[in-house]
Structure 1
């Protein structure tokens, strides 16, 4: 942290206390108890966040939590920002769209890290996205092959295919009046670029034309069998969605022509 502060680099961290999480596959609570899954308390996230914020403050470092998923975690980040600390956080669609109820059928496509949380935590995530506590929405794209998912839930590796459903899930927040379109752009483009110091995330003269053409109202059914990812394990399979990417350009060159 001290070296990062000297170089003005942002430290990106995964907010879980390994001593508490161990080999847990779920969040401790009613659902994990009913399913008999090894579980860790949601407080494992808050403990890691509190520790890392304290250390970042001591070092004067910039700190980004890759994913925050619990009400207590959001409260800690919110308080750190109010004190003027250089603390930011992200989230993925799985944690604002789904709760641990989605694991009730032992479907390993919902085996994630961090694990899915309670409905109360999911609602806290929506509040944090709406009030500006959350800075980044990332895809959480970490697909796993069938050899890693066709296993008992606790033995399956965490991960999901998220890139192809990111925009549709973010536009759900717009339709539900959690955020507006400019805020959606900030969360998925401008803020990540600024955080990493990349000359991107803006529509401006002189920048490379890294663009996505989106039909925000196009309806479709998410079908894992039609996905381009090397693995198709999406927790949103067969779910209705609105919003499709029609075209992509990288450096002004079409990737979809």
Structure 2
């Protein structure tokens, strides 16, 4: 039995913001209120700290199977736990691709030993080829919570329509990487002044906008639950807002790097600031924050994408895109959104727990009696310097940056998955 004392409970699911004690027994929340300390094996003094539902990241790459030298399920889970996450959804761009039950079971079996909940999304198309749909019904029955070809767009519009119709029938989300490759000269850097200085054509925001427009319109038509992944373009934010106003079940993710940095970071950090879609202009960054404020963008997701230093330390055009993000996500939300007054802690926790759970039909994002004891405890005012990662990788432009908001405990199913030393 565990007791959390004197913490400021922020629980968006019940709109609760008060100082309470929380008792945990057999992996579940037993009681909330003023609780006597007698009889508890573990007591955590959370005075001055925020106690919230465990964070949920619907967009991570744990590189397992096939690329375990970058990350694997256990190191990815450790990185997530250090960042306050109790549930993550892994993308399907592994080797082999998660497009069948056998590969899905491999991940599920390996994830049983992880300290947090590791869920595995399945591909939308076989082999990520964009030609033929997977057996979505069988994969859902096998435990896939949703479907995505993340990393690659699906150019066949009729096939996307068919996938949406099936997703609507099965009540599962489809998550889309929105970049038309025919409009990208060189991926990973915005087509603009920085790319011109580098002598690269870059990736135009139009590549994102046209795909977002297409999928938003089809979401209106089909009624499917659609997730626009790692939105980076201000125009795309407006497109999602338009689709929502017409009844579409469209969600959008914002990644911390897109609401914190601009293309200028590429000058300083080089390939460690290379990602798809790329960092864009200050106008785009402000539009993303505007979308977060008015709930056009409901979800904050990291797109945690580990690569080795050897892979990143090459000429820009030859380096893979992507950065790690699990261990800095909460602090960047606090530093870039809460402290400047854009979001409240309640709204930040909603975007990092309740809404991600809603997208994937999960029932874990609330601290209430009989609910799973998935909890993050953090000091909202503690300053720390990013670095010393639990991930195998360290490819991020945030290393060395002073951030505000430090995870002290991550508790999953009543067990301590991470404790700050």
> What range describes the TM-score normalised by the shorter chain of this pair?
over 0.9
Pick aligned residue for 1:140 from 299, 303, 311 = 303
Out of 189-198 and 146-155, give the one that drifted further: 146-155
Match of 1:222 in 2: 386
Pick aligned residue for 1:169 from 321, 332, 336 = 332
Asked if the contact 2:269–2:397 (Cα under 8 Å) also holds between the matched residues in 1, the reply is no
Asked if the contact 1:99–1:117 (Cα under 8 Å) also holds between the matched residues in 2, the reply is yes
Asked if the contact 2:186–2:200 (Cα under 8 Å) also holds between the matched residues in 1, the reply is no
> Number of matched residues?
255
C-alpha distance in 2 between matches for 1:54 and 1:174 = 33
Gaps of 5+ in 2: 1-163
- C-alpha deviation, 1:60, in angstroms: 2.3
Asked if the contact 2:254–2:297 (Cα under 8 Å) also holds between the matched residues in 1, the reply is yes
C-alpha distance in 2 between matches for 1:106 and 1:255 = 32
TM-score, with structure 1 as normaliser: 0.95
Match of 2:195 in 1: 32
Pick aligned residue for 1:234 from 388, 396, 410 = 396
- 1:59-95 deviations in whole A, cap 9, x for unaligned? 2211111111111000000011111111110111100
Q: RMSD value over aligned CA atoms?
A: 1.3
- Judged with a 3 Å threshold, the aligned counterparts in structure 2 of structure 1 residues 57 and 84 are, in CA distance, closer, same or farther, namely closer
- C-alpha deviation, 1:21, in angstroms: 2.3
- Which protein has greater RCO, CA pairs closer than 8 Å, 6+ apart? 2
Q: Which structure shows the higher strand fraction?
A: 2
- Which aligned pairs between 1:42-61 and structure 2 lie closer than 5 A? 42-61=205-224
Out of 168-177 and 101-110, give the one that drifted further: 101-110
- C-alpha deviation, 1:57, in angstroms: 2.2
Match of 2:292 in 1: 129
- Which aligned pairs between 1:108-257 and structure 2 lie closer than 5 A? 108-172=271-335, 173-223=337-387, 226-256=388-418
Asked if the contact 1:31–1:100 (Cα under 8 Å) also holds between the matched residues in 2, the reply is yes
- C-alpha deviation, 1:106, in angstroms: 5.7
Gaps of 5+ in 1: none
- C-alpha deviation, 1:24, in angstroms: 2.5
C-alpha distance in 2 between matches for 1:256 and 1:24 = 36
- 1:133-173 deviations in whole A, cap 9, x for unaligned? 11100122111112220111111101111010011001121
- C-alpha deviation, 1:22, in angstroms: 5.7
C-alpha distance in 2 between matches for 1:165 and 1:13 = 24
| Rg (Cα) greater in structure | 2
- Judged with a 3 Å threshold, the aligned counterparts in structure 2 of structure 1 residues 106 and 190 are, in CA distance, closer, same or farther, namely closer
- 1:175-200 deviations in whole A, cap 9, x for unaligned? 11100011011000010011100111
Asked if the contact 2:338–2:345 (Cα under 8 Å) also holds between the matched residues in 1, the reply is yes
